[in-house]
């Protein structure tokens, strides 16, 4: 990791560092008192306060307040930058063409500016809960219903992408939709769209929503739309997969 940091930089030092850092596609970090104006898909304003600003090599911009995970303002990758000094203030503008939007950051004071070159080639592996459920279901469809057989692990319809297309023990087609969290109304509607499309060709088509739990309203809707709900939670699925000797790595790590 190469880079430098300047504490309480002069305006000129700061401008130079910013231009250099962004121009060379480095990571730029700034701490200071700044205000933010945004206009694009929406618009926002935020008066002066002490915040952390980050510009990444891909053109991403992040402005963080002292609380919350989410940045208060940001700009997605690919943004273009302009920096200048005006009336003793350092201004940094980020611009994006499509959709057209811009963020203007005005610094009243800069306490810290840093420019670093990060090397990070590692692969990020994410194991999502839905993935785990689906994997377990494919190995053991009886987790949802005895006699169920998986026909297609994914099926593309006009209405969208079906999680799992199956047939039951009576050869009736079954659409299975997984939700890792408590299923809400939108989940029911999503399943309903798939089943609707298929029922036009075959009114016998069943739809099963599989989730660890379901909201009261969603359950009512499941019934009124002639769909079904089956309880299945992720922990159970993990156990099933483990028992089939395909342990999930991060679990092992945290067991040690």
Query: Taking CB under 8 A as the criterion, which residues in 171-200 touch a copy of itself?
Result: 180, 185-186, 189-190, 192-193
Cα(34)–Cα(51) distance, integer angstroms: 7
Burial class of 70 by CB neighbour count within 10 A (0 to 12, 13 to 18, 19+): exposed
Is there binding between residue 38 and a copy of itself (CB under 8 A)?
Answer: yes
Pair of tokens at residue 172: 């009736």
Candidate residues 86, 87, 146, 156; the one interacting with DNA per rule CB under 7 A: 156
Q: From the list 103, 113, 222, 238, which residue makes contact with DNA (rule: CB under 7 A)?
A: 103
Q: Identify the three-state secondary structure at position 143.
A: helix
Q: Which residues contact 50 (CB under 8 A, 6 or more apart)?
A: 31, 32, 33, 66, 111
Residue of 31, 129, 150, 248 interacting with DNA (CB under 7 A):
129
Q: Give me the 198-237 binding string for DNA, x by CB under 7 A, dash otherwise.
A: ---------------x-xxxx-------------------
Task: In angstroms, give the least distance from the CB of 166 to a copy of itself.
Answer: 23
154 binds a copy of itself (CB under 8 A): no
- Select the binding partner of residue 62 from a copy of itself, DNA, none (C-beta < 5 to 8 A, by kind): a copy of itself
Instruction: State phi, psi for 178 to the nearest 5 degrees.
Output: -100, 140
Judged by CB under 8 A, the chain residues 98 through 127 that form the site for a copy of itself are 102, 109, 111-112, 114, 116, 118-127
Interaction of residue 89 with a copy of itself, rule CB under 8 A = no
- Here the tokens at position 165 are 């297309």
The terminus-to-terminus CA distance of the chain in angstroms comes to: 31
Contacts of 32 (CB under 8 A, 6+ apart): 50, 51, 53, 107, 108, 109, 110, 111, 112
Can you give the binding site for DNA, defined by CB under 7 A? 38, 40-42, 44, 60, 68-70, 73-77, 96, 98, 101, 103, 126, 128-131, 156, 159-161, 163, 177, 180-182, 184-186, 190, 193, 213, 215-218
């Amino acid at each position: 990791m190469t880079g430098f940091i300047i504490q309480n930089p002069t305006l000129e030092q700061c401008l130079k560092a910013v231009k250099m850092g962004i121009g060379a596609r480095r990571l730029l970090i700034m701490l200071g008192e700044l205000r933010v104006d945004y206009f694009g898909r929406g618009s926002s304003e935020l008066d002066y306060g002490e915040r952390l600003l980050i510009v990444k090599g891909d053109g991403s911009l992040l402005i963080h307040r002292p609380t919350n995970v989410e940045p208060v303002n940001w700009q997605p990758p690919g943004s273009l930058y302009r920096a200048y000094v005006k009336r003793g203030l350092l201004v940094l503008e980020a611009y994006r063409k499509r959709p057209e939007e811009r963020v203007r950051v005005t610094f009243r004071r800069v306490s810290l500016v840093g420019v670093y070159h990060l090397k990070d080639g590692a692969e990020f592996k994410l194991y999502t809960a839905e993935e785990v459920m689906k994997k377990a279901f494919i190995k053991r469809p009886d987790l949802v219903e005895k006699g169920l057989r998986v026909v297609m692990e994914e099926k593309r319809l006009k209405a969208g992408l079906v999680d799992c297309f199956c047939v039951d023990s009576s050869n009736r087609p079954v659409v299975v939709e997984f939700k890792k969290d408590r299923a809400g109304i939108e989940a029911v509607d999503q399943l309903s769209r798939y089943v609707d499309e298929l029922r036009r060709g075959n009114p016998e088509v069943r739809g099963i929503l599989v989730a660890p739990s379901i909201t009261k309203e969603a359950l009512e809707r499941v019934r009124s739309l002639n769909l079904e709900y089956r309880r299945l939670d992720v922990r159970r699925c993990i156990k099933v997969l483990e028992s089939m000797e395909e342990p999930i790595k991060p679990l092992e790590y945290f067991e040690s």
